[in-house]
Structure 1
Amino acid sequence: MKIIAINPSQTWQIRHEVMWPDQPFEFVQLEEDNDGLHFGVFDHDKLVSIVSCFIDGDEMQFRKLATLEDFQGKGIASELLKHILKLAKEKDLRKVWCNARNNKKSFYEKFGMIDTHKIFTKAGQEFTIMEVLL
């Protein structure tokens, strides 16, 4: 398993397949994708997990952390999250945050992220903002 920087367009298929399969493909293409840092985990030559990071001042938001279904439960997303938290510390950022689906909160809590209880709904999914101060 290796984590490398990837192009924004390389994230779209996994975003669509894992997170928003009922939405049009364009739904997962973010306007700000070209301003972000994107990372992928490869199992041999197959891209199996992705995340996109957006830095604004001394904060980083990560978005669209997703792993192909056949590769879930193997610690891949955990390694990807550790990678971007390490990157944030290296860049002397103050905070890392995300919009977490409510059913995924416990995953993020394992990394010291706290639920801010700022809740919203998008396309029928309920989210809460989670953050960790570095």
Structure 2
Amino acid sequence: MIIKEIPASQTWEIRHRVMWPDKPLEFVQLEEDDLGIHFGLFAGAELVAIISCFEDHEEMQFRKLATLTEEQGRGYATLLLEHILLRARNNGIKRVWCNARVNKKEFYEKIGLIDTHITFFKSEQEYTIMEIRF
């Protein structure tokens, strides 16, 4: 398996299939996608997991972490998160954060992110802001 930078457009199919299959494809296309850095994890030639990162000075937000349903449970999302956290540290980023679905909070805690207990709803889904500081 390999992790490499990919164009935003290459993330959209997985975002759509995994996160919002009942919405139109455009729903998963972010206005700021062209400002982000996007990574894909490939198992052989197949793209199986993706993540998008948005840096602003000493902070980085990651968004749209997704693994194909049939490939979940193999540690791919963990590998992507470890990759971007190492990259953030090496680039002098002081805070990495995300809007985590509340039902996925434990996954992020295992990686070292801390729940800020700032919650909100979007599209009938509850989120909490999670972060890690270096």
For structure 1, list consecutive stretches of 5 or more residues without a partner in the other structure: none
Q: Which residue of 1 aligns with 2:9?
A: 9
Give the distance between the partners of 2:68 and 2:122, measured in 1 at CA: 22
Give the distance between the partners of 2:118 and 2:15, measured in 1 at CA: 23
1:95-116 CA deviation, whole Å, 9 max, x = no partner? 0000000010000001111101
Give the distance between the partners of 1:34 and 1:64, measured in 2 at CA: 14
- 1:104-115 to structure 2, matched below 5 A, reads 104-115=104-115
1:49-103 CA deviation, whole Å, 9 max, x = no partner? 0000000110000000000011100001000000000000010110000000001
Aligned CA-pair RMSD: 0.5
Q: Which residue of 1 aligns with 2:87?
A: 87
Structure 1 segments of 4+ aligned residues over 4 angstroms from their partners: none
Q: Which residue of 1 aligns with 2:98?
A: 98
- 1:1-134 to structure 2, matched below 5 A, reads 1-134=1-134
Give the distance between the partners of 1:125 and 1:13, measured in 2 at CA: 20
Give the distance between the partners of 1:12 and 1:106, measured in 2 at CA: 25
Give the distance between the partners of 1:58 and 1:100, measured in 2 at CA: 20
* Number of corresponding residues: 134
Give the distance between the partners of 1:94 and 1:13, measured in 2 at CA: 31
Give the distance between the partners of 2:17 and 2:111, measured in 1 at CA: 25
Give the distance between the partners of 1:15 and 1:80, measured in 2 at CA: 15
The TM-score with structure 2 as length reference comes to: 0.99
Give the distance between the partners of 2:41 and 2:55, measured in 1 at CA: 20
Amino acid in structure 2 at the alignment position of 1:32 = E
Q: Helix, strand or coil: the match of 2:86?
A: helix
Amino acid in structure 2 at the alignment position of 1:19 = M
* Identity percentage of aligned residues: 61
